[in-house]
Chain A
C-alpha cells in the first residue's frame, strides 16, 4: 500500500502568513493527488486536484506543487476563512490512501 506522510500534523499561523503543508508518497503516484479542506462539521472540499490544478471556485492564494515524491499545498497569504483541516489523498492505486491531516489554526 502507498503511505502518505503528511506534515505538520498541526500548525498555527498569523493572518497574511505564507503557509505550506506537505505530503510525501512512499511510492510513485505521479500527479494523482488531491488536496482537501475540511471545516468542522462539514464534508471535505477539494482544493487542488492532479497535484497542481486549482479546483473550481478556490481562491488563487491556494496552490499545489510537486517535487519528486513530495507534494505541497501552499496558501500565499493566510485569511481567517482558511482555518480548517487539510488532507491529501492519493488515487494512483487501490487502496486509495489519505494523509493523516493537518490542523491549521490562527496564532
Chain B
C-alpha cells in the first residue's frame, strides 16, 4: 500500500525558514517524480514544486521560486521542501503527492506563518 506521510509543519515567524519532510513507502520511491501541493485555509489547491527521479530537475511556480527548494533522498525514500523567507501568504496545508496521475497524497502538514 502506498503511503506518504508529511512532517515538519508548525508555526513560524515571517522571514524565517522551515523544512518539511515526506516519508514514502509501498512503492519504489526512486522510480517516481514527486511533488508538493499546498492549500491555504478555505482556498483552492496550488502546485508548489516537482522533482525528477534523480533530483536533477526541479520545477517551481513563480510564487515560490528562489525561496523554496525541493529535494529528495532516494536511499531514505524521503522527499523534502526547504522553505526560506516565509511570508504570511505561505500559510497553508502542504501535501506531498506522487504526480503520476496525482493518485497518491499524504495527509498534509499545516504551516502557519505569523508573528
Q: Considering the chains assembled together, what is the distance between the CA atoms of A34 and B61 in angstroms?
A: 19
Q: Considering the chains assembled together, what is the distance between the CA atoms of A89 and B47 in angstroms?
A: 9
Q: Is the interface of A mostly helix, strand, loop or mixed?
A: loop
Chain B count of residues within 8 A CB distance of the other chain: 20
Mark the stretch among A14-22, A59-67, A68-76, A95-103 that contacts chain B.
A95-103
Q: Tell me if A94 and B59 are in contact (CB < 8 A).
A: yes
Q: Tell me if B45 and A87 are in contact (CB < 8 A).
A: yes
Residues 28-69 of B at the A interface (beta carbon under 8 Å): 35, 43-47, 50, 59-62
Q: Tell me if A43 and B46 are in contact (CB < 8 A).
A: no
Residues 18-35 of A at the B interface (beta carbon under 8 Å): 34
Binding site for A on B (CB under 8 A): 35, 43-47, 50, 59-62, 95, 99, 101-103, 105-108
A-B contact pairs, 13 of them (CB 8 A): A36-B45, A43-B105, A43-B106, A87-B44, A91-B99, A95-B47, A95-B61, A96-B50, A96-B99, A98-B45, A98-B47, A100-B44, A101-B44
